[in-house]
Amino acid sequence: MPTEKKDPRAVRTQRLLKQAFIELMEEKKFDQITVQDISDRATVKRVTFYLHYKDKYDLMYQCIDETLNELHDKVNEKVSFIGNFDFLDEQPHPSFVQLFHQVSENYPFYNALLVKNRIPYLTSRLLEIIHEFVSEGINQIEPNDENLTANRSLIIKYVESAFLEVIIWWIESGMHLSESEMAFQLMNLSIKGPYIHNPMKINHNQE
């Protein structure tokens, strides 16, 4: 069945409304924003807004779904060969780089809805994607529970929560580290932990 072709004018109007919404979300809280504010910023009539969205919640949910669906698809493209990757090569896996690249590409969106306003729907959906990413990676790298230092579900929850907070920290800091640097450091932390050498073992040997 052929894909229905979208009206270029409708696509342009929706893009303007989404951009206006994100700009306003960087400036104020969601509860303070009205449909009229969004329409004025997008330079369209209020009635035009309602031709495309039921209300500001509908606009917000569509913004989130579109951005996170793209994130999910792009990152998953790079995950399939994670089990054959040489993690000792001192290079970040492409899936980690893609994760930060997608965040960087949509910085205004994530800054507005994840940092300036912590929108629960965005946070929960982003965690779902990170959970899938982390689970797939751990399951491919080490399928044997006996070789893990803790319960598999606990490890996944621990790592996915850290991923989310690291992404938020990176955005808050103005993305001061490059995508590759963030990808490499987060990958190393996820696999090796924070220490090059076991500090408890070193301290024990010094006694």
7 is written with which tokens? 């009206």
Give the C-alpha separation, 152 to 145, whole Å. 7
pLDDT recorded at residue 87? 58
pLDDT recorded at residue 200? 65
pLDDT recorded at residue 21? 98
pLDDT recorded at residue 84? 62
Q: How many residues comprise the chain?
A: 207
pLDDT recorded at residue 80? 60
Label each residue of the chain as H, E or C.
Answer: CCCCCCCHHHHHHHHHHHHHHHHHHHHCCHHHCCHHHHHHHHCCCHHHHHHHCCCHHHHHHHHHHHHHHHHHHHHHHHHCCHHHCCCCCCCCCHHHHHHHHHHHHCHHHHHHHHHHCCCHHHHHHHHHHHHHHHHHHHHHHCCCHHHCCCCHHHHHHHHHHHHHHHHHHHHHCCCCCCHHHHHHHHHHHHHHCCCCCCHHHHHHHHC
* Closest C-alpha to 135, from 76, 65, 71: 76
pTM: 0.86
User: One digit per residue, pLDDT tens: the chain, 207 residues?
Assistant: 455 677 889 999 999 999 999 999 999 999 999 999 999 999 999 999 999 999 999 999 999 999 999 999 999 887 665 556 665 566 788 888 999 999 999 999 999 999 999 999 999 999 999 999 999 888 888 889 999 889 999 999 999 999 999 999 999 999 999 999 999 899 888 877 787 776 766 555 555
pLDDT recorded at residue 1? 46
